[in-house]
Chains A and B, each alone.
Chain A
Amino acid sequence: MSHTESQDIEQATTSIAPSQPDDKTRRYDRQLRIWAASGQAALESSRILLVSSSATSTSILKNLVLPGIGHFSILDSTITSPADAGNNFFLNAKESIGKPRAQEAVPLLRELNESVQGEAVLKDVNELLSTDQGKDWISGFSIVIAHNLDKGTLEQLSTLLWSNPNGPPLITVRSAGFLAEFHIQYHEHCVSQSHSETAPSLRITRPFPALLEWARSLDLANMDPTTHGHIPFVVILVRLVDEWRKSHNGDLPKTAAEKKEFKNQILALKIKPDEENFDEAEAQAWRVWSEPAIPSDVQSLFSLSPLPSTSDSSAPARHTTFHALLGTLADFTKDPSGPGTLPLSATLPDMKSDTESYVKLQNLYREWAEVEKTKFKELFAKKHPELAQTANPEEVDTFVKNSHHLRVLRGKQWGAFDQNREALADALMMSPKETATHLGLSALTNLLAKDPDASNVTAETLRTEVVSIIGESVDLPEEVDAALGEIARAPTADIPNMAAFLGGLVAQEAIKMITEQYVPLNGYCIVDLVDSWTGVVG
């Protein structure tokens, strides 16, 4: 842009002096569009522990270092083998052979993002699990991830982290050749920002006063045609619902015939055939009869049973505010002076309209959403006076803003599924290939505990282990043999493509756990790269 050319533009825009984004914002631009600054801040304050520096482990870490976690520790005393040097991208090939694997990997991972700190801890995890100091250290991370850990160690680790509801979630990963699974262990995970793609209710059948007033005040007969063709569909529907109720004892259209009649009433208001706003009103008429006062997913959260107490404490302390807000939300919907719904969402979809009407409508929604949010906060302060003082106002705002899409997940301890023969048998019927693969990998874990070099792993020995897990009374479908044969083929193989696939999947779930945005896995995710599918069981 030459200087002379840009002058009149500068004159035209002198009042605005926005600055361009800094280097960090530019670097993270593509991910900030997914989890925003709040998600980024959560990532940057996270501390991750990886137990192992296998190819899968470093692949997972790579996908966490790149988006910018705060810190990682690799806990691994292994010495790099020729096989490690062949399948792990974050080693210096042959030069790393004979040197501590974690120590070799750390600099190659850190160079991916200079704002991430990382360290290698060249100890055996069992050593740390045997001292209180070591246990405290492990429990102090934001999340712990373990790949192909032996059974006894994994049991100890999962028990340690499960015993403390305030401890970090544990992601356990098991892979063998083309087959793999991973599990996230957490007591509870609460999500305000689920980023659901379903739009929140526009409250057409429960309009707030200013919206109803606008709808009633429309002088449809004497309006100029341009304005008529630009009335937002929301206002049209509110108007017609109001009229319908007056002539139907306060009821909404219920039967198919009534719904059809209602739609015809919309179209009958057209004064020109090309008034798209009325077509849009007809297309959106389902909102009149299909929108519940409270989405059932959110309604079900109001009757959540308390978490079963695991030790001396109960629910994770970090969710105290969320649960207090959830209780307040239930009260809000039951409050006789309230709308009988969730607080109004200020988000308005685009619609056929002129600028003035649309901006007016948007402002009405925003203002009323503020009114209801204030009311919600008053209820919150009354119900939880202390929390209301200490809670982060942003957390409260985010909660109210996303109250139409809240999610609460209740997880299980790693391994609990395998202790429940009834659940396993059901799963084997409902999801045979997923459950068969899971059972095969559990059987492999059991065999490797007795025989770490896998010399006795065959389809037959695996099958015996599967039977010992699920019981003799269950018929094993053919999917079991398909999985066991594949595991026996490559029982200790950490192949590069599977390592990369898991590296992506596990990092993705870790990011969802850390940012408390989007909805993470609940159970075991099973991966089969022979037939290229994933599934969830347990």
Chain B
Amino acid sequence: MAAAAVVNGNASSGDWEGRYYHVDQILDRPGPRTDPSFLAGDEVKDFLRTKCKILVIGAGGLGCEILANLALSGFKDIHVIDMDTIDISNLNRQFLFRPKDVGKSKAIVAAEFIMNRVPGVKVTPYFGKIQDKDEDYYMQFNLVICGLDSVEARRWINATLVNMVDPENPESLKPLIDGGTEGFKGQARVILPTVTSCYECSLDMLNKPTAFPICTIANTPRLPEHCIEWASVLEWPRVHGDKKMDTDNPEHIQWLYQVALRRAQEFKIEGVTYSLTQGVVKNIIPAIASTNAIIAASCCNEAFKIATSSAAYLNNYFMLIGTDGVYSYTFEHEKRDDCPVCGGESLDITISKEWTVDRLIEMLVERQDIQIKKPSLSTPGKQIYFQAPPQLEEATRPNLEKKVSELVPDGGEITVTATTLPFSLSLRVKYT
């Protein structure tokens, strides 16, 4: 065992001689492409194993893999946040969970599993939402890795980390590594808040969510999906009133399935199944262990390289498509000057003089590079429309019918905010 002699045998960390034989081959000497600033040997190992503090957001398909990789790579102080509990459908890939764990917190079970399997690693779980935590909390970490399935949560953490950057304090810049998968496809990226393109910059790269026009659903259904949407969007509220639909409740899915099936039979449409119903109403994304393993490994590899400087980190986007051979593409995604989170410049939009405020809101919801649900609008001088609180909503509601051009001059600015997003979008409006 050639490298055994150089291993840092720190007894208190639970290490044993030879434990890091493999990783230490990387950490003991640079490669031809390694940056000269790399401090090979004890210094970098000490930082990785005793000082570096890393946050993992999500303990699901990617999160389980990320935690295991980080622990084996030598990260010793890992925190993990997840608000979800374990479901039976997680067990085909979330390999830290067993059937007996169904219903328990993902973050807590995952943390315990890692600590049992990999001695000397401390994993601190938080069973809750990322939004529960403030800047002070996020400031304690050197790195953040995200394995999330929610666009909203990613936008939130991205904007939070960008907002935290203080040019006077280099420690305030927290590298964010983000992974995502769908079936045999996935991507991993490195975001250096304010330096590289951020999550918000690339919002338009997301697949457009399939939305069916309400008139199709109501009047001219053709696909089984149309019948399912009819059941969930129109029939559920009609029959159940204010009672909220819970897509995790099998009885609710069963009800939707039966109602959708009846409608399909009425229109002679084939293909409504329980599985499709569940897929449509929960917007289920197919997921397998192998793709999650690849993307999580890629994220952890970038975290390892950033933490140790043992090799250059990804600049800044890795995309994998595994449906036809193994195809991947590594490229630099460009920063957007008019990105509402990291760009600083306002976004120019040109709209018709005739557009009402309501029409503008519709555009803000739909446009791929904006996608702001429930936006509130104001100009420097006045409120245009506010979604909340109720009194303000009521007071500004009449503006919805008004033309934007009556409220904002040509070339004027509108500030768009939403409660779910910790940033505001600045629009410069021109009229045709």
A→B interface (CB under 8 Å): 1, 5-6, 9, 12-13, 16, 18, 20-21, 23, 25-34, 55, 59, 62-63, 66-68, 81-83, 85-89, 92-94, 97, 111-113, 177-178, 194-197, 230, 350-351, 353-355, 358-359, 453-455, 459, 481-482, 485-486, 489-501, 503-505, 507-509, 511, 518-522, 525, 529-536
Cβ contact within 8 Å between A63 and B290: yes
**A13 to B98 CA separation, bound complex (whole angstroms):** 36
Cβ contact within 8 Å between A194 and B322: no
Write 12 A-B pairs (CB below 8 A) sorted by A numbering.
A12-B262, A20-B250, A33-B183, A68-B92, A83-B22, A86-B20, A195-B323, A358-B220, A455-B2, A489-B26, A507-B293, A519-B323
Cβ contact within 8 Å between B23 and A508: no
Known: A486-B33, A530-B31. A21 touches B275 (CB 8 A): yes
Q: Which residues of B contact A85 (CB under 8 A)?
A: 16, 19
6 further interface pairs, Cβ-Cβ under 8 Å (given A66-B93, A453-B2, A507-B293) = A86-B16, A86-B72, A491-B25, A493-B22, A496-B69, A534-B320
Cβ contact within 8 Å between B311 and A178: yes
Known: A12-B262, A529-B301. A489 touches B30 (CB 8 A): yes
Across the interface, A30 reaches (CB within 8 A) one of B29, B89, B252, namely B89
Cβ contact within 8 Å between A495 and B26: yes
Q: Which residues of A contact B93 (CB under 8 A)?
A: 30-31, 66-67
Cβ contact within 8 Å between B21 and A83: yes
**A522 to B326 CA separation, bound complex (whole angstroms):** 9
Cβ contact within 8 Å between B330 and A533: yes
Cβ contact within 8 Å between B220 and A355: yes
Cβ contact within 8 Å between A486 and B69: no
Cβ contact within 8 Å between A31 and B288: yes
**A493 to B25 CA separation, bound complex (whole angstroms):** 6
Known: A85-B16, A501-B301. A519 touches B324 (CB 8 A): yes
Q: Would you give the 0/1 interface string for B152-194, flagging 1 where the beta carbon is closer than 8 Å to chain A?
A: 0000000000000000000000000000000110001000000
Segment 398-414 of B: residues with Cβ below 8 Å from A: none
Q: Which of B137-145, B253-261, B352-360, B365-373 contacts A (4 or more CB under 8 A)?
A: B253-261
Closest to B277 in A: A18
B32 at the interface (CB under 8 A from A): yes
Across the interface, A490 reaches (CB within 8 A) one of B4, B26, B259, B261, namely B26
B269 at the interface (CB under 8 A from A): yes
Cβ contact within 8 Å between A496 and B32: no
Q: Which residues of B contact A20 (CB under 8 A)?
A: 250, 253-254, 274
Q: Which residues of A contact B330 (CB under 8 A)?
A: 531-533
Q: Which residues of B contact A18 (CB under 8 A)?
A: 254, 257-258, 261, 274
Closest to A18 in B: B274
CB distance from A527 to the nearest CB of B (A): 9
Q: Which residues of A contact B20 (CB under 8 A)?
A: 86
Across the interface, A177 reaches (CB within 8 A) one of B25, B183, B250, B289, namely B25
Known: A82-B16, A354-B220. A521 touches B325 (CB 8 A): yes
B222 at the interface (CB under 8 A from A): yes
Known: A34-B184, A93-B119, A531-B312. A504 touches B26 (CB 8 A): no
Cβ contact within 8 Å between B252 and A355: no
Across the interface, B274 reaches (CB within 8 A) one of A5, A21, A113, A530, namely A21
Q: Which residues of A contact B25 (CB under 8 A)?
A: 177, 489-493, 495
Cβ contact within 8 Å between B304 and A485: no
Known: A33-B279, A195-B323. A497 touches B262 (CB 8 A): no
**A118 to B221 CA separation, bound complex (whole angstroms):** 49
B206 at the interface (CB under 8 A from A): no
Closest to A486 in B: B31
CB distance from A297 to the nearest CB of B (A): 11
Known: A30-B89, A62-B95. A82 touches B4 (CB 8 A): yes
Question: How many residues on the B side are at the interface (Cβ–Cβ under 8 A)?
Answer: 93
Closest to B246 in A: A1
CB distance from A444 to the nearest CB of B (A): 13
Q: Which residues of A contact B426 (CB under 8 A)?
A: none
Cβ contact within 8 Å between A353 and B220: yes
B200 at the interface (CB under 8 A from A): no
**A290 to B305 CA separation, bound complex (whole angstroms):** 48
**A89 to B170 CA separation, bound complex (whole angstroms):** 35
**A354 to B218 CA separation, bound complex (whole angstroms):** 11
Cβ contact within 8 Å between A63 and B289: yes
B107 at the interface (CB under 8 A from A): no
Cβ contact within 8 Å between B18 and A83: yes
B135 at the interface (CB under 8 A from A): no
B314 at the interface (CB under 8 A from A): yes
Q: Would you give the 0/1 interface string for B266-280, flagging 1 where the beta carbon is closer than 8 Å to chain A?
A: 011100001100110
Known: A230-B220, A507-B293. A89 touches B31 (CB 8 A): no
Cβ contact within 8 Å between A532 and B301: yes
**A111 to B119 CA separation, bound complex (whole angstroms):** 20
Cβ contact within 8 Å between B26 and A493: yes
B300 at the interface (CB under 8 A from A): yes
Cβ contact within 8 Å between B22 and A82: no
Cβ contact within 8 Å between B92 and A28: yes
Cβ contact within 8 Å between A59 and B22: no
Cβ contact within 8 Å between B30 and A86: no
B302 at the interface (CB under 8 A from A): yes
Q: Which residues of B contact A87 (CB under 8 A)?
A: 21-23, 72
Closest to A497 in B: B301
Q: Which residues of B contact A111 (CB under 8 A)?
A: 98
Closest to B220 in A: A354
Q: Which residues of A contact B26 (CB under 8 A)?
A: 177-178, 489-490, 493, 495
Q: Which residues of A contact B1 (CB under 8 A)?
A: 81-83
Known: A13-B258, A530-B311, A533-B328. A355 touches B289 (CB 8 A): no
Segment 320-366 of B: residues with Cβ below 8 Å from A: 320, 322-326, 328, 330
Known: A195-B323, A353-B222. A454 touches B22 (CB 8 A): no
